[in-house]
Amino acid sequence: MFTGIVSDMGEVIAVEPRAQGLVRLKIASRFDPESIALGASIACSGICLTVVATGSAGGRGWFAVEAAAETLRVTSAGTWSHASRINLERSLKVGDELGGHFVSGHIDGIAEVVGRADVAEMADIRLRAPAALARFIAPKGSVALDGVSLTVNDVGGAEFSVLIIPHTLAVTTMGAARAGDRLNLEIDTMARYAARLLEFPPSAR
């Protein structure tokens, strides 16, 4: 479980294809590798991935994760290459501050950036969600984009917008987001269950 509050921007330093469509990704970060347990979960641009190795080289710490063929197909991980920058968040611990919203790290789809307007050091970014997910996105609701917890400003059909503050622009990959970019989208868990309850109300059981 995560909160959508990014704690580092990592850099992909190696992409190693393995058997059966599996890919091992080595990611450099500011995290102390000795503090990362094998088997730990780290959200990599919103994708919950399992740590399979850690180490350091050239004064930089790194950890490695493996992405299966399905993950590569339905998320942006399939496009990552050497020097790709990704948002990182370590999993939530009991007692940690919940600064964003509950994020599972299970990507629902890809949202495409359709426009960006920079205003007063902030960025108003408009995106298009997959049609099947649009109904889960509501004004003032929450979404996670590439692992960043954001509040929805407005919604029109399958399109919605988010306003990115200067701090978030500086410390996440959202600062580089441009029209045509494809971002990992996770809808709010509460919206998912609310929709499910409406589909199967108690009287239908």
* Residues classed as catalytic: 2, 41, 48, 50, 68, 106, 151
131 burial via Cβ count (<10 Å: 0-12, 13-18, 19+)? exposed
